[in-house]
């Protein structure tokens, strides 16, 4: 395959092993792919502060998609543009009001690299403190003063289902929300219409690489649009069933170098 391809990598459960490291084999394959002219980029739900280390480890020089498409920029090229699409402040405050009627442990709002906690929580503070963000704690209806890039609602599995149902009833036209279960039940909320494929489209146009030459890897429901958009939508062996249905192909798991094996074969990289 001599044509230049755009390779989009989700992080958790995809590029990263369960211990949050990149395997030597996959790293070597990605390095060879870049040497042969292919473009490699990260597309993640994480903020930049907790994905930058992988960007640096892979020695990338491409745009990166963070917060599932709510924040897109090029760390090595300030002229590329910064695309930040936060929630409306009124919507963010309404979401907090909606949650008050339910049992929840905490609500977290992130404004790129600033974090607001509704309640003080040592475990969450430890989890979110990577990259030394500015942290504010207190009732979000009072202390949140800037439109948030993303909001997270931490609750029980039962309450997560009920809160999502209510969000659909009240805010369906203005927000996108998804749930994830590890390390604990959380609802993730961004502005309506945002997803990782938006970042892929911007990169595709920038590099003049058509969608049919995009290879995208993922494992969760926040990868659905990205895999659907890519000519090669590849679900990990450990991916959710819904994603495997959307994907063109299924590779090995994140613990079995699924990304590395697939790229090595597809692009004929001959990495041993």
The set of catalytic residues is 10
Element (H, E) at 83: strand 83-84
Residue from 4, 24, 10, 78 nearest 220 by CA:
10
Residue from 83, 25, 12, 113 nearest 54 by CA:
12
- Answer for the pair 62, 74: CB distance below 8 angstroms, yes or no: yes
Structure tokens at 91: 């919507």
Q: Where are the alpha helices (DSSP H) in the chain?
A: 24-35, 52-57, 89-100, 122-128, 140-143, 157-171, 196-207, 224-229, 241-246, 258-266
Structure tokens at 250: 């299924």
Count of all residues that appear for the chain in the document: 272
Q: Give the neighbor-by-neighbor strand order of the sheet with 249-250.
A: 83-84, 71-73, 64-66, 39-43, 6-9, 214-218, 232-235, 249-250
Q: Which residues pair with 110 in a beta bridge?
A: 115, 150
- Answer for the pair 5, 39: CB distance below 8 angstroms, yes or no: yes
């Amino acid at each position: 395959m001599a044509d230049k391809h755009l390779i989009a990598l989700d992080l958790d459960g995809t590029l990263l092993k369960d211990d949050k490291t990149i395997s030597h084999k996959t790293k070597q394959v990605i390095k060879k792919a870049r040497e042969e002219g292919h473009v490699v980029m990260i597309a993640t739900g994480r903020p930049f502060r907790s994905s930058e280390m992988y960007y640096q480890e892979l020695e990338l020089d491409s745009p990166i998609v963070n917060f599932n498409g709510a924040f897109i920029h090029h760390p090595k090229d300030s002229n590329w543009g910064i695309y930040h699409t936060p929630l409306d402040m009124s919507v963010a405050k309404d979401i907090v009001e909606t949650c008050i009627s339910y049992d929840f442990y905490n609500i977290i709002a992130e404004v790129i690299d600033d974090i607001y906690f509704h309640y003080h929580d040592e475990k969450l503070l430890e989890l979110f403190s990577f990259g030394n963000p500015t942290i504010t704690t207190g009732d979000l209806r009072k202390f949140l003063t800037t439109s948030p890039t993303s909001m997270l609602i931490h609750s029980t599995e039962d309450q997560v289902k009920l809160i999502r149902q209510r969000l659909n009833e009240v805010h369906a036209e203005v927000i996108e929300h998804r749930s994830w279960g590890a390390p604990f039940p959380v609802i993730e909320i961004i502005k309506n219409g945002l997803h990782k494929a938006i970042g892929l489209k911007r990169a595709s146009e920038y590099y003049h690489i058509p969608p049919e030459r995009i290879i995208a890897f993922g494992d969760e429901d926040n990868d659905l649009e990205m895999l659907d958009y890519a000519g090669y939508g590849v679900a990990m062996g450990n991916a959710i069933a819904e994603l495997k249905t959307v994907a063109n192909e299924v590779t090995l798991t994140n613990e079995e170098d699924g990304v590395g094996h697939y790229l090595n074969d597809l692009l004929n990289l001959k990495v041993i």
